[in-house]
Structure 1
Amino acid sequence: MKPKKNPNAEIGRNSSLYFMIGLTSVLFLTWQSLEVKFYERESTVSDVVEVMDDLKEDVPVTEMLRTTPPPPPPSAPDVIEIVEDVEEVEETVIESTESSQETYIEDAIVSVEDVEVEEVEEDITVPFAVIEYVPVFPGCEVYETQAERKACFNRKVQEHVVKNFRYPPSALEMQITGRVYVQFVIDSKGNVTDIQKRGPDRLLEEEAARIIASLPNVKPGEQRGRAVRVKYSIPINFEIQ
């Protein structure tokens, strides 16, 4: 039995070819539409300047002030009278105070007994290492020899530093450490004076000076039978453990 339709007349035979042609056409048109560029028209701006010929300016009205001229000076009198001096003025004679060669001045005689001689004690400073009689710290009176009193003085000062030591909070926060060298003088009355310090930071120096300034009053040192100033030095270590 033969088919009724002609195979060449089948519609769906080339459908894939038609689909590819249509898809290609759509993509081409889309690409062309994206490539189209539009340019804005340049707008021309014309500046219009208006010039007015008739310019009017209001000038303020000023008034001139007229001042009266000064009066003329008084005229000289016609007749000039001469008045004679009535009172006589006595002249004052000033005597000279300069001395001449003929003036004789008697020599003043002064006896030696009338002159008072005041002895001035020299305020000397002796180092602690060579002082004849060292300062006596409170509690060191029990020792008799100077070597024992010197060792006791050093020990008492170190104990005072350890007891009154307080690390500055700011230096502790910034991790500041180091050694401060302190030098001070024990005067002839046993007081601590002339504190000098040298260290790595100002905070540590101030703390070292505060500790030394709080030392108690001591018996002053003696040299040749009289109280003298004694210089003492000590290092203070600031360490964070």
Structure 2
Amino acid sequence: MKPKKNPKKDLGRKSVLFFQIGLILMLLITWRAIEWKTYDKEAIDQGVVQFDQLEEEDVPITEIQTPPPPPPPPPPAPEVIEVVEDDVEIEEEIIESTEVTDEPEIVEVDDVEPTPEEVIEDVPFTAIEDVPLFPGCEKYKTNAERKKCMSDKIKNFVNSKFNTDLGSELGLSGVNRVYVRFKIDRNGKVVGVQARAPHPRLQKEAERVVGMLPNMVPGKQRGKPVGVLYSLPIIFQVQD
């Protein structure tokens, strides 16, 4: 037996969908009904200004008061002219000139005393800033190296020139010492040789040998050549 209704046109299957759509429409209508508002036309202010309703406002006029000008100064008093009789003597006031009439004194060049140059006293060899240079010691750069080189050169020179046989000729024995003191002046020359020895002939021999030392480059203190004091002990032994 065939069914009377077409299964494709059965609305019962979509009843749930129709119910939901109807529920949504009812909720929407209810919400709009609650939110609906009405206003009286008289209560609406359309923002139109009536110029005839504005009250006229009196604006105060500000007056600027200008102070009166000051009165003019009084006219100067007339100068009083004193009339002097012809027989009255008038003392004339002498006005001294302020100009300098004296010619400046011209100082002759010969009259000017030169500033004395600073004189540096003789300096001991141990305290000199730049030691004298014995020939052959120029290759060293430091002050300590030059001191050692100079001491060695002087000692070797004196030992090679000193007559050590003089001690035996004088009847001396053992170790003998001769102390010599001299100065290397500002020109590098050996001057002022002084010796102290156990015999006068040894003293003269020491002075002779030290006087033969060659000229040297002078020592310097604060950049200026100065005299350098040097002490030299000569020690030799006489064989018995």
Give the % identical residues: 44
Q: 1:213 aligns with which of 201, 211, 214?
A: 211
**Deviating 4+ runs (over 3 angstroms):** 108-114
Residue type of the alignment partner of 1:131:
I
Partner in structure 1 of residue 222 of structure 2: 224
Shift of 1:124: 1.9
Residue type of the alignment partner of 2:225:
A
| 1:1-241 matched pairs, under 5 angstroms | 109=105, 115-122=112-119, 124-167=121-164, 169=166, 171-177=167-173, 178-241=176-239
Unaligned 5+ segments in structure 2 are 1-103
Q: Work out the number of aligned pairs and report it.
A: 134
Q: Secondary structure at the match of 1:239?
A: strand
Q: Secondary structure at the match of 1:180?
A: strand
1:182 and 1:233 in contact (8 A); partners too: yes
Q: Residues of 1 paired with 2:170 and 2:112: CA distance?
A: 67
CA deviation vs aligned residue, 1:93-132 (integer Å, no higher than 9, x gap): xxxxxxxxxxxxxxx9565976232424525200000000
Task: Give the number of the structure whose alpha-carbon radius of gyration is greater.
Answer: 2
| RMSD of Structure 2 on Structure 1 (CA) | 2.4
Shift of 1:188: 0.4
1:185 and 1:231 in contact (8 A); partners too: yes
Residue type of the alignment partner of 1:200:
P
Cα gap change, 1:112 to 1:174, in 2 (>3 Å) = closer
1:168 and 1:207 in contact (8 A); partners too: no
Q: Residues of 1 paired with 2:190 and 2:162: CA distance?
A: 18
Shift of 1:240: 0.9
